[in-house]
Amino acid sequence: MLFFFLSLFFAPTQSAEVIIGSPTDLSENVLLVPRFDLFDFEDPEVEGKPREYLIRHNQEAKRLNTVFMNAASKNYPYTYELVRMKDVDKRMVEGAKYLLEVVNLPKSATSFPEEIVNQPAHLRYTIAEEMYRIPPSGQWHVFYVRDLRTGDIYLPGGWKGKAELADAIAATFKSLR
């Protein structure tokens, strides 16, 4: 039922635009930023995974979430919220309008693959770690803002990206001012 409601609320179409620049109403809306999830040691899904792996993963997730929060607090003057990827639909129903997304693209790219334009990250990925993966050689992280209502994509830094995630997120927040 929720999916049906959301499909009415957000119906991506071929008319979604890719816009160089930032949304003009960011100061009036919360920017959702997908966070790295922590493993719950009691969750049956992690059963069988080595405890040391879970501990290392959680330490790295906390570190990267802190990197994102520091980059936002230093460079982004508006309200943002770190959210789990699976909570984006709920936040949309509550009125959230913008989601920060990232894609790995060749350094010479001037367009997005069709699946990126037509499907928001929270529908492509179950956890943020899938979206934030390390880019292959010759590619970099290109962050963009998705309008969850229209599907439009805003490229605040143009087609520029960075190979390091921390550098890319800081540059993106600076360009969203």
C-alpha–C-alpha distance, residues 90 and 98, integer Å: 13
142: closest CA among 125, 117, 115, 163? 163
Averaged pLDDT in 10-residue chunks for the chain of 177 residues: 45 70 96 94 86 92 95 95 95 96 90 84 90 86 94 91 92 91
Give the global pTM: 0.86
* Residue 3 pLDDT: 44
Contact indicator for 99, 52 with CB cutoff of 8 Å:
no
Contact indicator for 22, 156 with CB cutoff of 8 Å:
yes
* Residue 119 pLDDT: 87
Find tokens 């990126």 and name the residue: 116
Crossing angle between the packed helical segments 51-75 and 165-175, to the nearest 10 degrees: 30
Contact indicator for 11, 149 with CB cutoff of 8 Å:
no
